[in-house]
Amino acid sequence: MLGRVNHIALAVPDLAAAVETYRTTLGATVTEPQALPEHGVTVVFVTLPNTKVELLEPLGPQSSIAAFLAKNPAGGMHHICYEVEDIIAARDHLLLSGARVLGDGNPRIGAHGKPVLFLHPKDFWGTLIELEQV
């Protein structure tokens, strides 16, 4: 069911500072910031030869990323995103296996313009998992 790792997401308290660190210190290529109000975040992607790193900053105090940063003020790994060919088939398989899909269980459009779902971290050893249909 799982394909390649699409990206690893890091929550950061200061997106501009994180972008500067990735560009200057690490020499990485970073996309322009993209606000995603429906997800409550502003994101950039660090482009790597084999995957991407997504840097997330809260878009307002109600963002789940704001809650994450309240517990982890310096930031940290927020989730890992895996690609799947058919997100509905993946969701149905996971639900039958007893995994919990967050939200109402229906895919939403993610930062790449593709359907995504999130899986409860308690079902995956403390790691929030995002699935993205490719």
Listed in sequence order, the residues at least 6 apart from 104 whose beta carbon sits closer than 8 Å to its beta carbon are none
- Asked if 122 and 128 count as a contact pair (C-beta separation under 8 A), the reply is no
Residue 98, both tokens: 């007893």
Q: Do residues 102 and 118 touch, judged by C-beta distance below 8 A?
A: yes
Two tokens at 40? 């409550």
Known catalytic membership, residue 130: yes
Question: Catalytic residue among 54, 57, 83, 130, which?
Answer: 130
What would the DSSP string read from start to end of 63-110?
SHHHHHHHHSTT-EEEEEEEEES-HHHHHHHHHHTTPPBSTTSS-EE-
| Enzyme catalytic residues | 130
